[in-house]
Amino acid sequence: MLSVAAAQLGYRTHIFDPHERPCAADVAADFTRAEYDDRAALERFAAACDVVTYEFENLSVGPLEGLGDKLRPGTRSLGVAQDRAAEKQFIESTGGRVAPWRAVESLSDVEAAVAALGCPLVLKTRRYGYDGKGQAWVRSPADAAAAWAAIGAQPAVAEAGMSFAAEFSLIVARGLDGGSAIFPAPRNDHEGGILRTSTVPAGPLVAPHLAAAEPMARAIADALGHVGVLTVEFFACADGPVVNEIAPRVHNSGHWTIEGAATSQFEQHIRAICGLPLGSTALRGSGATMDNLIGDEVARWPDLVAEPGASVHLYGKGDARPGRKMGHVTRVR
């Protein structure tokens, strides 16, 4: 989707990926197959590019540091976002609110966190967690050992379970000049830790939180010196918005912007990293709903493409494994 947006602006894209046939290579001018920590391959790749960007967090920072100013956003955004403890400390340093938490590295740490934070609490591995992976709930002190084992006894954060009315996200684009633009907030509904639906406008459960959430999101982007799209996920709590996590990239909850906003999050990211003016984030209609196609739900595509007003996006990922996001459909009102 980034490659398509770049092509519409006249740019050619070059994909770097360790897989034999990444779906992005189907819509790109060039493709390099190499491991993400192959420094020599990265240097050759960067020499062929004017700007380098990334679209997920599970990358080693060290090999990317040699890319210098070509890498946008930079390694600071990546390093903060890929470690949950560092992320929470950073968010708090910008004035953002997060759930009460503790870093844990042993079962005794988990037990101490239970004593300090109470139950329920959730353990989240510090690295490589997404879509609910690497997480386990402690709903009573007796669950501590099983939860610690469930996450592989890895360094983690213990986070107090939050009571909230809704989840929402703010997708911020920040340009080379430090200017920023925020898309209308979607309300995000999850099933099993996986995003199911994003709805814009987010509605009355979220609207009262936006005046406080938007400055938090901008402060995070500014403190990182971020260039490109940054996503900040929030809980709408009784006493105000609480940051759940950040993603230094385009985000699933922003896929609705392709049809639903004047500028898609993908075009906005390309604009930002290439030094172009940021585009309008205004809604195209009165609102939009994006539904993920997860696992074998992608088999519904013939009916969906026949539905008037439904915009279907299939990712070409191959096997429709359970829990795998295979595509999405957006309906603009």
In angstroms, rounded to a whole number, what is the distance separating the alpha carbons of residues 85 and 125?
9
178 and 43 in a single domain? The answer is no
pLDDT at 318: 85
Burial of 20 (0-12, 13-18, 19+ CB in 10 A): exposed
- What distance, in Å, lies between the first and last C-alpha atoms of the chain? 22
DSSP state, residue 283? B
CATH code of residue 27? 3.40.50.20
pLDDT at 303: 97
- 161 close to 120: Cβ distance less than 8 angstroms: yes
Out of 160, 179, 207, a domain closes at 160
3 state SS of 102:
strand
* Beta bridge pairs of residue 292: 328
Count how many domains the chain has: 3
* Beta bridge pairs of residue 232: 170, 246
pLDDT at 134: 86
CATH code of residue 153? 3.30.1490.20
pLDDT at 129: 66
174 and 308 in a single domain? The answer is yes
pLDDT at 299: 96
10 and 132 in a single domain? The answer is no
In angstroms, rounded to a whole number, what is the distance separating the alpha carbons of residues 123 and 327?
29
DSSP state, residue 162? P
123 and 170 in a single domain? The answer is no
153 and 267 in a single domain? The answer is no
Out of 35, 51, 81, a domain closes at 81
Ranges of residues in the chain with a pLDDT under 50 are none
Output the CA–CA distances (angstroms, integers) from residue 312 to 118, 170, 284, 302, in the order listed. 44, 23, 17, 10
3 state SS of 125:
strand
174 and 153 in a single domain? The answer is no
Residue 95 falls inside a structural domain: no
